[in-house]
Structure 1
Amino acid sequence: MFAGNPGVLAVALWTLATGLFVSDRWHAFIKRRGWGQRGIDWRLMAASAFVLAPVTVAAISPSFHIFMQPITNFRWLLPALASWTGNFVVWNLLYTMALSLRRANRFEAETLRLELHAKDIELRALQAQVNPHFFFNSLNSVRALIYEDREAAARMIDQLAGLMRYALQSGHADTVPLAAEMEAVEAYLAIEKIRFEERLRVQVDIEPGLERVMIPPMSLQTLVENAVKYGVELSTAGSDIRIRAWRGEGATLIEIANAGALRRIGDSTQLGLANARKRLELAVGGGASLALAEHDGWVRATLRLPGGP
């Protein structure tokens, strides 16, 4: 069609260039004014009918006169105005929809950012609750030991200093490797070993390759502390503390076990376990869990972590 009538091609190109130019200038104008930011704006629709369409038709009309034939009547004017009004109404609707989608995406991203920030604050607050409780108990142990064995008390203070360093450093992270947490646990058990001597017996069985599993800092230490408190401290004969880690089906399992009865667990420990469960959920995700159960005279706290190292 264009090859047989160059005038039609010239008019089409003129029309295309005019439409793009008017749309570009209109876009710049409404962007400066902030129109359409809150949804459908009547000013956009009114401008389509009373400004944009007449301006575009007026700009295109000379092309017919120049490249095709002189304009002798104006019967085409109303259909042209209606057509361009429809074009610009659709353009403004699509533009408004695009702004709404962009605004919704920004709002969703900001909401997600605030949720992550709130999660981080909550996690830090929960971790901050663990450390003072732990150090309070440790200082009580040091105080009791000073009157019995000063050298042992000095060794305990050295171990406690190492634990404090770990707690301060790990407090800035959501998770730490199991190997780092076990170092802190072993330091804690060394402190309690000075205090309880033969009453505290520890067995550790970590399956090779699990050292890199990420867990919330001080989480195992909290469970081991409970095992010592309710398994060793309450028994004149003491208790074994068994720490195991192994691969299950699609998960890593870590178990802290002590001889005793679940009925002895007090309110403070229940709060500690609730804290540990919440920290586990925030740091690792909903697929993680912490279960406490009694079986065959043993109380077992079991961490279940999705995936593996």
Structure 2
Amino acid sequence: MTPHQRPLLARLNWYWIFQLAGWGAVAVFNLMLYSQVVNRQGVAAVCWWCSFSGLLLSHLWHGQIKRRGWASPKPLWRRLLAGLLVLGLVQALSVAASIALLQKQAITGLAWLPISMMFWGGILGAWTVCYLSALALRRANRFEAEALRLEVQAKDTELRALQAQVNPHFFFNSMNSVRALIYQDQHAAAQMIDQLASMMRYALQSGQADTVPLADELEAVQAYLAIEKIRFEERMRVSLELEAGLERVRIPPMALQTLVENAVKYGVESNPDGSEIRIRVGRRDGMVDIEIGNAGAILPLANSTKVGLVNTRKRLALALGGAARLDLSEHAGWVRATLTLPEAA
């Protein structure tokens, strides 16, 4: 982002805005304090000089604090207090000189000096506290932004690692299917390789994205099912119901394919009679449900299924937040994996 593209508030020099506003307020306070005699020779000029000299001293003090590193997370209060005593003295003498020069009023004795030093030292002390507080706030914001950047980076790294676990698992299973088919039907094996190449292209293209449109994911799933249809023929039957308008819902890439693969493995491959694979996408209570069903039962020792489900749940949480979830249920001889995610995802 170039400087001209940054928001207006971010481009403003807030240091000088607050400097001018603060010392301008001091001048107005002094003018009001001496309002009854402000028309006298030099009174208004002295009030404005007090603010100008205060602004100059505070700016020099600001440079000293930065150069010496006195604004560290643990400020060096002794040095700051010593500096404020010197600043109070210089400002008090500057004000006395302005009164002598501008008001033509002789100043005798030193009784005025401690009071004047305390007054101006207090004002410059308040300025210092405000400045150090602003630096501390900026430092905290910077640390928070850095922590957020690292959190996002860690999230992205974890998501990429989970996606890397999904893709080799899928292609390993697919290559086993191709190997088994080569000995049975070389033409069907060639078709399967073409479909697998299409799947590999999709996996490579989508692997860099946190989410993809549901339409793209469904297209990849259909290519996968075409591969398995060559292998299982009539043992595998597929039905798809997609409610209108849900094609652009975002979903982690290969998440739906992982669940469909489990449905094929435990519903079709493990059943001599095969199974229908039912994919239904619809709205419910302001959310989108993507349900994948197959005939069969949940196997308590199916470790690969558990790994796939844990992986998918983590990817949903990382990509879409806590509103997205994955549920696995069994009812009346059917196993259903249901992805629930926000439609606006």
Residue 54 (structure 2) aligned to one of 4, 14, 19:
19
TM-score (norm 2): 0.87
2:208 pairs with 1:164? no
Contact kept in structure 2, 1:185 and 1:224, CA below 8 Å: yes
Contact kept in structure 2, 1:247 and 1:308, CA below 8 Å: no
1:90-129 maps to which residues of 2 (within 5 A)? 90-129=126-165
Residue 73 (structure 1) aligned to one of 109, 121, 132:
109
Which whole-Å CA distance do the structure 2 matches of 1:138 and 1:244 have between them?
24
Q: What is the aligned partner in structure 2 of residue 176 from structure 1?
A: 212
Q: What is the aligned partner in structure 1 of residue 170 from structure 2?
A: 134
Structure 1: gaps of 5 or more residues: none
Contact kept in structure 2, 1:39 and 1:100, CA below 8 Å: no
SS of 1:290's partner is strand
- State which drifts further: 148-157 or 18-27: 18-27
Aligned in 2, Cα 1:3/1:92: closer, same or farther, shift over 3 Å? closer
2:256 pairs with 1:204? no
Q: What is the aligned partner in structure 2 of residue 47 from structure 1?
A: 83
Which whole-Å CA distance do the structure 1 matches of 2:197 and 2:230 have between them?
15
1:274-285 maps to which residues of 2 (within 5 A)? 274-285=310-321
Structure 2: gaps of 5 or more residues: 1-34
SS of 2:299's partner is helix
Per chain length, whose mean CA-contact separation is higher, i.e. which structure has more relative contact order (CA < 8 Å, sep 6+)? 1
Contact kept in structure 2, 1:45 and 1:92, CA below 8 Å: no
How many pairs align? Answer: 308
TM-score (norm 1): 0.97
SS of 2:196's partner is helix
Paired residue type of 2:209: A
Which whole-Å CA distance do the structure 2 matches of 1:58 and 1:308 have between them?
67
SS of 1:242's partner is strand
2:296 pairs with 1:260? yes
Which whole-Å CA distance do the structure 2 matches of 1:89 and 1:22 have between them?
12
Contact kept in structure 2, 1:204 and 1:242, CA below 8 Å: yes
Paired residue type of 1:214: R
2:70 pairs with 1:35? yes
Q: What is the aligned partner in structure 1 of residue 270 from structure 2?
A: 234
Aligned in 2, Cα 1:210/1:126: closer, same or farther, shift over 3 Å? same
Contact kept in structure 1, 2:249 and 2:343, CA below 8 Å: no
SS of 1:235's partner is coil
Aligned in 2, Cα 1:26/1:308: closer, same or farther, shift over 3 Å? closer
Aligned in 2, Cα 1:308/1:30: closer, same or farther, shift over 3 Å? closer
Which whole-Å CA distance do the structure 2 matches of 1:168 and 1:283 have between them?
18
Contact kept in structure 1, 2:221 and 2:260, CA below 8 Å: yes
Contact kept in structure 1, 2:236 and 2:274, CA below 8 Å: yes
Which whole-Å CA distance do the structure 2 matches of 1:14 and 1:183 have between them?
76
Contact kept in structure 2, 1:252 and 1:308, CA below 8 Å: no
Contact kept in structure 2, 1:185 and 1:220, CA below 8 Å: yes
Deviation, structure 1 residue 113: 0.1
Deviation, structure 1 residue 264: 5.8
- Residues 246-299 of structure 1: per-residue CA shift (max 9 Å, x gap): 011121110000011113660111011000000010011111000000011110
Contact kept in structure 2, 1:224 and 1:256, CA below 8 Å: yes
Paired residue type of 2:306: Q
Contact kept in structure 1, 2:288 and 2:343, CA below 8 Å: yes
SS of 2:326's partner is strand
Which whole-Å CA distance do the structure 1 matches of 2:149 and 2:63 have between them?
31
Contact kept in structure 1, 2:281 and 2:290, CA below 8 Å: yes
Which whole-Å CA distance do the structure 2 matches of 1:202 and 1:265 have between them?
26
Which whole-Å CA distance do the structure 2 matches of 1:38 and 1:122 have between them?
33
* Identity over aligned pairs, percent: 61
- Residues 22-62 of structure 1: per-residue CA shift (max 9 Å, x gap): 1111112222222212233221122101x111111122211
Which whole-Å CA distance do the structure 2 matches of 1:145 and 1:109 have between them?
54
